[in-house]
Structure 1
């Protein structure tokens, strides 16, 4: 039985849960992270020295880093429909997953901590305005890509890239900032909501 360590509210844990839903994988999940068992516990640090969730245990195999985990699960459990083996198709999926992990992820961090987490260290008006502009710029890049494909991030079919990006799109709409009109992103959001895994994990259980 696959074991997942991490709280279900974590955006990175939700990547793994959504991937399991797409692959119809059974798993056991343990609550680790803020508010639950501490990731500073020696038993957890022995699995992930970075003290971050998620971590998976698949038999004797241990893996951390959410994008690495979902790639592994797709490779291990018949997920070629999510993560194609053809080199160019796979490279396109990897490209957008890496873009999410670097450019897009970095773009929303300050605004999310300021407006959702209400972090006292992230309340500088100029820094917040700059972060919102950068986030909107990256979302515009996504909107143009979705206009080109007419469906999903890497092409006309749902892929592994849509899992981290779909979670980021949910965060965009759920963060109380000004949202410029991005019709392709809105249509994509609606399209993802037709997937049970997204309703359960991508939108954190919200309709």
Structure 2
């Protein structure tokens, strides 16, 4: 049975029975007379749905709550937490940027040092080549040069060797004199 209910602004709303008469009938379309009330109702519904969406976004593992104060408190807490994390990340980013600059400077110094060492290596290799170009190949035996006659108490000079004493090139066991008194007793 349909019953009409009058509302304070003179608009009649149809209800289905007496139990539903205490609720306003809601339709999807609003008439011109109800335009302001309809817009307000839509605004409230939109706000409520946005609050539910915010609640589910803030803490997805918890069931959505309809307590608007709790939702706003959670939103404030999460935003403050995100602000502090953002600040921490900015500070960390600045520190890492400074460290990157330091490492780049160190890398450039190492590159310069590497170039200097390469140049020194090339120079030393050139010196070694120039020194070894005068040395005969291994296995080559040069004829023994004749000695010049030296004066009294003078060492004989061999033209190919200059004043280099030859005992340096003997094996150490030959130069060891610690057992000479046993091997060759002194003559009396």
TM-score (norm 1): 0.18
The structure number with the bigger radius of gyration is 2
Higher relative contact order (CA 8 A, sep 6+): 1
The TM-score normalised by the length of structure 2 is 0.19
